[in-house]
Amino acid sequence: MNKWLVLFRKEWLEMVRNYKVIWLPLVFVVFGLLQPITLYYLPDILKNAGNMPEGTVIKIATPSSGEVLCETLSQFNQMGILVIVLAFMGIVAAERRSGMMKMILVKPVTYTSYILSKWVSALLLTFVSLSLGMLAAWYYTILLIGSFPFVDLAQGTGIYFIWISFLLTFTLFLSSRLKSSGLIAALALLLGIVLSLVTPLLEKWMKWSPAQLTGAASSLLTEGAAQGNVLLPLTITILLTALFLYLAVREP
Amino acid sequence: MKMMEVTALSKSFDTVNAVNNLSFSLKEGRCTALLGPNGAGKTTTLEMLAGLLVPTKGTILFMGSNQADYREHIGYLPQQPVFFSWMNAVEYLVFMGELSGMAKATAASRADELLELVGMADAKKRRIGGYSGGMKQRLGIAQAMIHEPKLLILDEPVSALDPVGRRDMLEMMKRLKGHMTILFSTHILHDAEEVCDDVMMIHKGELAVAGSLPELRRNYLENIIIISAEESLDTWARTLERWTVITEVRVRNNTLELFVSDLDKARSQLLAEITEKKIPISSFTVGSTTLEDLFMKVVGK
Amino acid sequence: MGFSSINWALVAPLIGIELILMIIAVVDLSKTTTQTNGPKWMWVLISLFFSIIGPILYFTIGRKHT
């Protein structure tokens, strides 16, 4: 535990020194702010875009607060996942490539606490980034569109975080086994994309899919309650996350 | 007292046997050189001893036990030490010290001490990213010693250094010798002869020759007489091959290299023969083969 | 409603964050110990001229780690 803390502090200091603790949350905050602003100004933007005959009346139903937040979440599901995978693809692989891993593992440290320190710090920063992004979106939604219950926001974000954690853990697992950062990112993104695409298409057979959690989070935000069975994908996702973490801490 | 005892150590990668059936022991307080050409299996051996690689076969006993995780008692400097370029020297040493189980304050005061010892006290607050190769090597030694290990394992500590850095490092190793057991690998025999007490030569993953320097000199170095002349000595050389005191004759141009079993006897007989046959010699040298010759013989060149 | 009617108080934080990202990227690039994939000047240009995306690209794939 003591050594784990030393390694965890090092991970955190590294993320401070390479500015990851600043830019990763800021990126999420930008996307969080962007969505309510764009949706609010959409009619003006369309009007200014021209091409419309004089006198055309554009009627776009102003989206509800829940819909704006749901849009934000789907934005996070693309750009957010991309950024997180790219940010953490080298988390183990880079130190293995450089030889730093040997410098550390020759000290009386277990491989498990080495990997776990990385997992927890990456998870923590991701959680902070996602939360700040959603809070920013929430604040602007309240300002521009209308109030929205914090409890629903927290629940939706919480469920969504489980899905992100699953992808992050998969990225860490790949990083512990593969050398090429590019390949790691490609495979991790592939899993995210395939699950997200296939799950709604094959609804019937994919009730267990971790990607169901994004749907559940969306419906929590738009309707105030999760649609369908959340417990099954939730359980499966947590089990898969645990499995990939277990595989990651096993020395290759 | 044996610090480390290694029995039948082997390591294979896929089908390649990097290290094959290696057995040796390291005595406490001595400095041992692991000598061998590139690709002989030196790094693989050291990494197994350091606990970085799991041996395919064989046992490693540390202080008589093969159970405990002995990593806290060893310091290891890899061939190319790497660092976090975003840390400074003190931060790095304290980090490594804490990983070795030291309290932060203890590690910090020890770090100051070590940086003084390796002559880097004035650069300790600078980011490692801006260090030169020699500074990194010295910091590498410091991180290996941060937790006052019983055994210091150094993989090619001087190979990558310029002459000045090399001298510094050898002097430092000489100073450390009294305080801890050292095992270091090198492919340069001269370095081994200069600082170590014991030598192990390995070739193609197998132990070829091992012993203390005096033992090696006694057991393996052969007496040799070198005779040069103004004319070809071919015909005379052929008669010398039949002498019992001469074990081997090598002819190179007008020079003869004679490996002899009994130096005194061979010298007087040869001198008598030279006078008698009026051989026009230009020089007559008595000496012995060097460890370099032994090394070359082991390596098979 | 024209361009001037945009509520700048709302947009200002967004622009502020964009600027912060850009500045961090350029400050990091100006350090001699920072190593990049590809030439540094290219990343300076990318960070300066592509708002948000530029600095993100630099931090994720432009910057060499360790």
Q: What CA–CA distance (Å, rounded) separates A110 from B118?
A: 29
pLDDT tens digits for range B113-167: 999 988 888 988 999 988 988 889 889 999 999 999 999 999 999 887 888 888 8
Are B78 and B150 within one domain? yes
CB pair distance less than 8 Å for C60 and A33: no
- How many structural domains does chain C have? 1
Q: Answer yes or no: is C29 within a domain.
A: yes
pLDDT for position B37 = 85
pLDDT tier at B110, thresholds 50, 70, 90: very high
Q: Answer yes or no: is C1 within a domain.
A: no
CB pair distance less than 8 Å for C17 and A23: no
Please state the rounded mean pLDDT for residues B196-210.
89
pLDDT tens digits for range A42-67: 777 777 766 666 666 666 677 888 99
pLDDT for position A59 = 67
Give C-chain residues touching A34 at CB under 8 angstroms: 14
pLDDT for position A80 = 92
The structure's pTM equals 0.87
Domain that holds residue C42: 10-62
Are B105 and B252 within one domain? no
Q: Give the residue from B84, B86, B132, B135 with the most C CB atoms within 10 Å of its CB, the best one to mutate.
A: B86
In the predicted structure, residue B261 carries a pLDDT above the cut 50: yes
Q: What angle do CA B267, B270, B274 make, to 5 degrees?
A: 135
Instruction: Give domain limits for chain A.
Output: 2-249
pLDDT tens digits for range B19-33: 989 999 998 889 999
Compare all CA atoms of chain C with the CA of B127 and give the residue at the minimum distance.
Answer: C33
In the predicted structure, residue B263 carries a pLDDT above the cut 70: yes
Are B45 and B118 within one domain? yes
- How many structural domains does chain B have? 2
Are B125 and B38 within one domain? yes
Q: What CA–CA distance (Å, rounded) separates B214 from A192?
A: 66
Chain B nearest C-alpha distance from A100 (Å): 6
> How many residue pairs bridge chain A and chain B with CB atoms within 8 Å of each other?
56
Q: Any bridge partners for residue B35, and if so which?
A: B186, B201
* Block residue for tokens 């990213």: B129
Q: Does the interface ipTM go beyond 0.90?
A: no
Give A-chain residues touching B52 at CB under 8 angstroms: 102, 105-106
- Rg value, chain A, Cα: 20
CB pair distance less than 8 Å for C66 and B130: no
Q: Answer yes or no: is C25 within a domain.
A: yes
With pLDDT > 90 as the criterion, what percentage of chain A qualifies?
69
Are B159 and B244 within one domain? no
Are B209 and B226 within one domain? no
In the predicted structure, residue B88 carries a pLDDT above the cut 90: yes
Give B-chain residues touching C33 at CB under 8 angstroms: 85-86, 127, 129-130
Write the CA distances from B66 to B7, B44, B59, B70, integer angstroms.
11, 19, 7, 9
Chain B nearest C-alpha distance from A7 (Å): 8
**Which H helix or E strand runs over B24?**
strand B16-27
Are B134 and B53 within one domain? yes
pLDDT for position B3 = 87
Are B22 and B67 within one domain? yes
Domain that holds residue B238: 221-299
CB pair distance less than 8 Å for C63 and A95: no
In the predicted structure, residue B178 carries a pLDDT above the cut 90: no
CB pair distance less than 8 Å for A30 and C55: no
pLDDT for position C1 = 46
Identify which of B45, B70, B73, B63 has the alpha carbon closest to the alpha carbon of residue B144.
B73
Question: Which of A98-102, A162-166, B248-252 has the weakest average pLDDT?
Answer: B248-252
